[in-house]
Amino acid sequence: MKSVFLSEMGFAGKIPRNHTNMRTEFAWMCALDAEHENIGKYESVKGYDHVFIILPKLRTSLSADATKIADVDNPSAVFYSPKLIEELKSSNDKVYILQEGPSWLFNDYEIEQQFNYINSLSSCDGVFVHNKIDEKFYKGITYGQVPVNVIPTLMIEDLLPDGKTIKVEDKTIIGGNFSRWYGGVQSFLVGRVFGNPLWTQTSHSTRPLETGIENLNHLPRVSWIDWMKNVGTYKYAVHLMPTVAAGTFSLNCAYYGIPCIGNKDVDTQNMCHPDLAVDVNDVESAIKLAVKLRDDKEFYETCATMARFGYDEYFRESTWKEKMEKILCQ
């Protein structure tokens, strides 16, 4: 089975399994032993069994008849239109689109671009999405014309430490910064309940004044593998991110058996931390769960065990490959 991924990223070739910044899409490529090519060089993509297009997060200037469309903010980024998908299908067996980011992101495009986006979805051979709630969304906007399947978030474990060897400390990690996208302030308010040192990630979207918040420590920006080595040292985690996407934070915690309070609409949260999954706006319930995790040792151990079980049962690479290969064969 010969596969290739197309995206706005500029590199060509395969991702090595020992890559230190193993993003979710990189993990998918590794699991399928797939190549990658920049979408602007789509003419060279021929003879593949499966072509996967990763949906753009950036605002694009799509046009109905163009095949190469440069991003208005980043001229080097080239995306697709229905015509591009038709051309790829003429020289390859199957062409799929993979969801990247939340399902509503295309609503920020211009009106014409929004419909070109939907037409692109409807003209491909299948759509892969992050969560069950996304599956319903994409089936709806394509009128059920194309198969829509959930592709689980994945981690390549080759470089990951054994969770049993990491010393857990009495501290809490919250996910995301203080923006509408991440909902960091809600996570911060819940995380304070544990009464221990509180930490958060530093990212490209971290606001300058966030570093001055009292009793909130900031990790430096690090590679994925260094992040994974660090996250295993926390006792509690909170991630009330309103944006429903790949759910990597909840999955990272589950790998180590760290109980994480998070958004019930995210599959990694529901499947690994079911007793800690809440409506993202129900901060009151999240605080009650934090108190219970802090004060009820048996409840904490149950949540930790369920997190490890959920990861082992649903998110191992072997399970991912089995599910993906079954879908592709169909």
173 plus 307 within the same structural domain: yes
pLDDT for 168 beyond 90: yes
pLDDT for 17 beyond 90: yes
Sign of the torsion angle spanned by Cα atoms 305, 307, 310, 313: negative
132 plus 188 within the same structural domain: no
Query: What mean pLDDT do residues 236-241 have?
Result: 97
pLDDT for 267 beyond 90: yes
* Tally of structural domains, the chain: 2
168 plus 278 within the same structural domain: yes
254 plus 323 within the same structural domain: no
247 plus 278 within the same structural domain: yes
Provide the pLDDT for residue 198: 96
Query: What mean pLDDT do residues 79-101 have?
Result: 86
191 plus 60 within the same structural domain: no
Helix (H) or strand (E) holding 54: strand 50-54
Compare 220 and 29 and report the one with higher pLDDT. Answer: 29
Provide the pLDDT for residue 208: 65
Query: What mean pLDDT do residues 5-18 have?
Result: 92
pLDDT for 173 beyond 70: yes
> What is the pTM for the complete model shown?
0.90
194 plus 207 within the same structural domain: yes
198 plus 242 within the same structural domain: yes
pLDDT for 76 beyond 80: no
Q: What mean pLDDT value characterizes the chain?
A: 89
Alpha-carbon span 292 to 176, nearest angstrom: 23
Q: Residue 303: pLDDT band by 50, 70, 90 thresholds?
A: very high
Write the pLDDT tens digit of every residue in 179-229. 888 889 999 999 999 999 999 987 655 666 676 788 899 888 889 999 999
pLDDT for 90 beyond 50: yes
Q: Residue 69: pLDDT band by 50, 70, 90 thresholds?
A: very low
154-175 per-residue burial string, b: 16 or more CB within 10 A, e: under 16: bbbeeebeeeeeeeeeebbbbb
249 plus 291 within the same structural domain: yes
Q: Residue 72: pLDDT band by 50, 70, 90 thresholds?
A: very low
Angle at 146 between CA 143 and CA 152, to 5 degrees: 110
pLDDT for 68 beyond 60: no
pLDDT for 2 beyond 90: yes
> What is the domain range of residue 304?
163-314
143 plus 191 within the same structural domain: no
CATH number at 90 reads 3.40.50
Provide the pLDDT for residue 204: 59
Provide the pLDDT for residue 176: 83
CB atoms within 10 A of CB 76: 10
168 plus 272 within the same structural domain: yes
Percent of the chain at pLDDT exceeding 90: 69
pLDDT for 126 beyond 90: yes
Q: How far is CA 144 from the centre of its chain?
A: 24
CATH number at 267 reads 3.40.50.2000
Write the pLDDT tens digit of every residue in 36-62. 998 888 889 999 999 999 866 554 444
174 plus 305 within the same structural domain: yes
